[in-house]
Amino acid sequence: DDGACAGVYGLVCADLVPLANPEATPEITVDASIHLDATCDGACTVWSLGELSLTVEPDQSVSLRVGDATLVQTPPGVLPRGQWLVVGAVISSSISICVDGVMVVKNSQLSTQDLYPCLYGQEPFRIGVDSANPPRSPFCGFMSEIRVWQSADPTPPGRNVDTSDMHGAVARWRFDEGA
C-alpha cells in the first residue's frame, strides 16, 4: 500500500471518552497501518490515550504501556522497518498485540481495571505522540489509517482486508482524504 499517507508528528484527536460503561470490562481495539522509517532507531509512539500508549521499541518489538510500565510486549523484530504493516492492540479481559491480523502476544494475567483512568479519563486520543509534555517518543515514519472499535476483536484485520465496513467503530482517521 503506497497510497496516500501522512508523516506523523503528533496529532491530538477528538475526544473518545466515554468509550464504554466503566462498570463493565473495557473492550477496545485500536489498529494502525504504519510504515516505520528505515532510519528510525529509537522508540516511537503509534498512539496514546492518557498514559496508555502503543509504542514501537528500538529492538522492533511492540509494547503496550501505562506510563513507563510495560503491560505486554512482543518479541524483538516483529515490526521490521521499511515496510507497511498493521499493528493492533486489543483490550478486554486480556490484553494482546497483533501484527497483520496475527496475535503475537497476549497477557491474561493483568487487571484491566488498572486501565480505567486511561480509558475513562479526560485525555484525548493522540496519534504519533505519547501524553508526556513534551512528548518523549514521537512516531518515526508514515501512517495511512488508524481505527478504533468499542469491541474486542481478537485479531484486527491485516493490511489486505477491506476496511470500508466499519461496523462498531467509534473513530477512524484516514490520511488519504482531503480536509
36: left (phi over 0), alpha (psi -120 to 50) or beta: beta
pLDDT tens figures, 9-29? 445 555 554 455 556 667 788
Q: In the predicted model, what is the mean pLDDT of residues 21-47?
A: 81
Residue 87 has pLDDT above 90, yes or no: yes
CA distances from 120 to 15, 17, 50, 107, 144 (A): 11, 6, 9, 21, 27
Q: For 97-116, what is the mean pLDDT?
A: 81
Q: Look at residue 128 and tell me whether its pLDDT is greater than 90.
A: no
Q: What is the pLDDT of residue 133?
A: 64
87 SS3 class: strand
What grid cell was written down for 13? 484527536
Residue, of 31 and 158, whose pLDDT is higher: 31
What is the number of alpha carbons within 13 Å of residue 73 lying toward its C-beta? 16
Q: pTM for the whole thing?
A: 0.81
Q: How confident is the model at residue 62 (pLDDT cuts 50, 70, 90)?
A: very high
